[in-house]
Homo-oligomer: A and B are copies of this chain.
């Protein structure tokens, strides 16, 4: 955080806290133009934001110079290599050095920036993040958390893991609960988040034995970790109001996420189709423009863009690969909010205290066992 403060002092002087976001300009489906347009929009909306932009310098320079909002607020770091959507994480781990993705993470590692944002290949980004930023002590599997539009007053629920790892045992799921509640506290401003464990029914006897083990573990840790455990929840509760944080393994979470996105997109297209069906329907669509826009703003997936990697030394926001200007700007907004809340340090503190508690528990158990032996 020191270098960030230094940065803010040299740049703005007036003592206002400036936030620096490191942005991978490459790897998204729409190329660097969409990324630069997105960060320019964010810069315009938020005067305390600065950027370090990673990618091929001449190309980026041209794009950035066109945007007045980025004037003096966007440093370009030259990186020639690009991680493509087709690259396998294992390849990228070996040959990723020199790519814009690697470079973007490096700025977070060196504490020049607080959060890194990339539209690139998810698997590769997670693999590089693990190498460059390293896992937090006590975290076995990092997770990707997303915000899901919901019926709760805060408008969103947190769901994790949505695809960092296909497997998760009971301890991992507890870890996800801890990290997810930390995210909900900082990202959604909830003091005592309610956690649900995703299953195929709410009764205690439902699901796999591994899930029951996770149930018991999460329940046992709820009070001292200051969250409420509501027990098992179902797919319908992900956009619902029974809980604020939905915990599941990365296989189930990824399929739920993509099913939800696909269903929302199909419905949106049907709605569009209904209003272009005939001349009269088009006219009705014009009349209904304002309510439809209000509706779209509520459910537009581009406005809730950004999976957050949790469990690393530093925060990484993964934007949708197909993000346009609006999408990139939403991911930057999320990055800004997490940076502003000091999320990385708070999450690390939470995980550290949980690990400590677990160690104490283990020590106590040993003591009790020792006593019972004597």
Residues of A within 8 A of B (CB): 88, 149-151, 163, 166, 198, 200, 205, 207-208, 234-240, 248, 250-252, 254-267, 269-271, 273-275, 277, 280-281, 283-285, 287-292, 294-295, 298-299
Contacts and interface: CB of A to CB of B under 8 A. Distances in A.
Contact of A236 (B208, B258, B270): B258
A200 B261 contact: no
Contact of A291 (B205, B235, B236, B285): B285
A282 to B, nearest CB: 9
A262 B246 CA distance: 14
Contact of A262 (B240, B270, B290, B295): B240
A254 B240 CA distance: 16
B266 A291 contact: no
Given A200-B166, A264-B267, A299-B267, A274 B256 contact: no
A234 to B, nearest CB: 5
B258 A255 contact: no
A25 B151 CA distance: 33
B235 A258 contact: yes
Closest 9 CB pairs of A and B: A235-B258, A236-B262, A274-B295, A235-B259, A288-B288, A274-B291, A287-B287, A284-B288, A281-B291
B235 A266 contact: no
Question: Among A240, A265, A274, A281, which residue has the most Cβ atoms of chain B within 10 A?
Answer: A274
Contact of A235 (B151, B254, B271): B254
B150 A254 contact: no
A270 B268 CA distance: 12
Contact of A287 (B163, B208, B284): B284
